[in-house]
Amino acid sequence: MSKFQGRHFLQIPGPSPVPDRVLRAMDMPVIDHRSAEFAELGKEVLAGSQKIFQTKNPVIIFPSSGTGAWEAAIVNTLSPGDKVLMVETGHFATLWQKMARRFGIEVEFLSTDWRHGAEPAAIEAKLAADKSHSFKAVMVVHNETSTGVTSRIAEIRKAIDAAKHPALFLVDTISSLGSAEYRHDEWGVDVTVSCSQKGFMLPPGLGFNAISDKAREAAKTNKMPRSYWDWEEMLKPNEGGFFPYTPATNLLYGLKEAVAMLLEEGLDNVFARHKRLAAATRAAVTHWGLEVLCLEPSEYSPVLTAVLMPPGHDADNFRKVVLENYNMSLGAGLSKVAGKVFRIGHLGECNDLTLMGALTGVEMGLSVAGVPHRAGGVNAAMELLEERNATNTPGHLKVVKN
Ligand SMILES: Cc1ncc(COP(=O)(O)O)c(C=O)c1O
C-alpha cells in the first residue's frame, strides 16, 4: 500500500500527467483497425494533429516514442554520407546527433554552454560560408528538455533564408508541441518531430512527423534503407484513415480527446498559460536565491525550468528528499548537468494551483534537504499569478468580477 494519500505530483518535463478526460476516452474496447469505424477515428486524428502542428501538410503518426520519430525524420530525408548542421543545445540534441552519425551522416555540431539555445547568427554564418551547399539539413531541438532552453525556430528559418541555403530544416518539438508556440507551415519547417507524452498529455507511445512538400520530395530520392518508418508507405493508407500496420488504437482515442481539449482552450491560450506558469516558477526560483539554468530571457522555456543547485548540494539527493517526503517527482539533471540541476515540469495538464502545489513541495524540500535558500519563493510565484490574472490572463484563467 502506498504510504501517501492523494495523488502523486508528476512534475517531470514529460511524460506529463494524463487528464481524466483523456484517460476516459482511451477506456474503450479495441476495435478492428481495418473497419470503417476505425477509418473515421484515423481521419479525425490525422486532421486534428495538423491543427496542433499548424500545418496543411500531412502529419504522420507512428506507434513509437519520440526517438522513433527522430529516426523517421533522418531515414526519410537523408542519405549515408550527407552532411548536416546541428547545435549542441543539451542532452537531447547530443542524442539526435549520435543517431545521425550511426546512419552514416557527417554532423557539424556547433557547441553551446547548455545555457543558451541555437544561435541564428551562427547558423547563418555557417550556411553562408557553405557555397557548395554541402549541408543537406539543419537539425535543431526546439525545446531542449535537459536545460529548459527554447531555441528561436522562426529566427533560425530567417537565418537559413538569409544565407540563401537550400538545406532542409528538421526540428524536434518533442517537449514543446502543444505547450510552446510552434507553427510548422508559417516557420517553414520541413520535418517537425514530436511525440505523445508531453504537450499532447497522452501516455507515451505515439511519434509524429509533420512534413513539408520539400521533405516529401527529398524522401523520393534519398538513399537510406527503411521500411517501418517509410513515409510513403504510411501516407497511402492514411488517405483513407488507415495505417500500414497495426496502429496504437487506444492511444488514438486519447489523441482525439487531447486535440479537442487543446482546441477548446485555444492554442494561443495554451501557449500563454504555459508562459505564465513558467514565469511564476522563475519568480519562485529567483526568490529562493537559486539560479535558472537558461541565461537568455528570450529563450526561457514555457515547458520546464531547470534549476542549478548551490555548490556542495546534490540535485539527485534533493529530488529523493522531495519524492520521499512529498510524493512529487522532479526531473533529473542529464549527462553534463547530472546532479547539478533539477527540473520542474509545468506543462500539459497544469494550472495555477497545480503549480503552486509543486512549488510548495520544492520549497519544503529545500528546507528538509538543508539547501540554503530564502523562504517565500511560493509567495513570489503567487504574487505573479495574481497580478497577471487581474490584467491580461486569457480564457478560463481570467478573474471574473461579479
Ligand atoms: C527534446 C527531446 N527529444 C527527444 C526525446 C526522446 O523522446 P523519447 O524518450 O519519447 O524517445 C526527448 C525525451 O524526453 C526529448 O525531451
- CA distance linking residue 201 with residue 336, whole number of Å: 28
For the segment 231-237, the average pLDDT, to the nearest whole number, is: 98
* Ligand 1 centroid distance, CA of 400 (Å): 38
Could you check whether the bond before residue 204 is cis, i.e. omega within 30 degrees of 0? Answer: no
CB-CB contact of 344 with 292 (8 Å): no
Q: What is the pLDDT of residue 227?
A: 97
Give the model's confidence band at 400: pLDDT under 50 very low, under 70 low, under 90 confident, else very high.
very low
Architecture of domain 20-263: 3-Layer(aba) Sandwich (3.40)
* Ligand 1 centroid distance, CA of 299 (Å): 19
- CA distance linking residue 216 with residue 33, whole number of Å: 26
How does pLDDT run across 348-364, given as a tens digit for each residue?
999 999 999 999 999 99
For residue 389, is pLDDT > 80?
no
User: Dihedrals φ, ψ of 277, to 5°?
Assistant: -65, -35
Specify the ligand 1 atom closest to the Cα of 67. Answer: 11
Alpha carbons within 13 A on the beta-carbon side of 83: 10
Name the grid cell of 141: 531541438
For the segment 159-172, the average pLDDT, to the nearest whole number, is: 98
Q: What is the pLDDT of residue 3?
A: 81
For the segment 132-152, the average pLDDT, to the nearest whole number, is: 98
Architecture of domain 9-16+266-397: Alpha-Beta Complex (3.90)
Specify the ligand 1 atom closest to the Cα of 142. Answer: 1
Specify the ligand 1 atom closest to the Cα of 195. Answer: 10
CB-CB contact of 7 with 357 (8 Å): no
Specify the ligand 1 atom closest to the Cα of 143. Answer: 1
* Ligand 1 centroid distance, CA of 333 (Å): 14
Which one of 195, 200, 304 would you pick to mutate in the ligand 1 pocket, going by the greatest count of ligand atoms within 8 A of its CB? 195
E strand intervals along 64-148: 83-88, 106-111, 135-141, 143-144
390 burial level (CB within 10 Å; 0-12, 13-18, 19+): exposed
Distances in Å between the alpha carbon of 18 and those of 22, 69, 252, 388, 399? 6, 21, 14, 27, 26
* Ligand 1 centroid distance, CA of 32 (Å): 30
Dihedral in degrees, nearest 10, Cα atoms 335, 135, 219, 159: 80
How does pLDDT run across 41-61, given as a tens digit for each residue?
999 999 999 999 999 999 999
* Ligand 1 centroid distance, CA of 174 (Å): 6
The set of protein residues with a Cβ atom below 6 angstroms from ligand 1 is 14, 65-67, 92, 141, 145, 172, 174-175, 195, 204
How does pLDDT run across 68-83, given as a tens digit for each residue?
999 999 999 999 999 9
- Residue ranges per domain, the chain? 9-16+266-397, 20-263
Q: What is the pLDDT of residue 395?
A: 43
* Ligand 1 centroid distance, CA of 235 (Å): 24
How does pLDDT run across 58-67, given as a tens digit for each residue?
999 999 999 9
Q: What is the pLDDT of residue 396?
A: 44
Distances in Å between the alpha carbon of 26 and those of 18, 22, 256, 264, 276? 11, 6, 10, 19, 30
Q: What is the pLDDT of residue 341?
A: 98
Residue among 280, 300, 297, 306 nearest 359 (CA): 280
* Average pLDDT value for the chain: 96
How does pLDDT run across 254-270, given as a tens digit for each residue?
999 999 999 999 999 99
For residue 161, is pLDDT > 80?
yes
Name the grid cell of 183: 507553427
How does pLDDT run across 85-141, given as a tens digit for each residue?
999 999 999 999 999 999 999 999 999 999 999 999 999 999 999 999 999 999 999
Specify the ligand 1 atom closest to the Cα of 69. Answer: 11
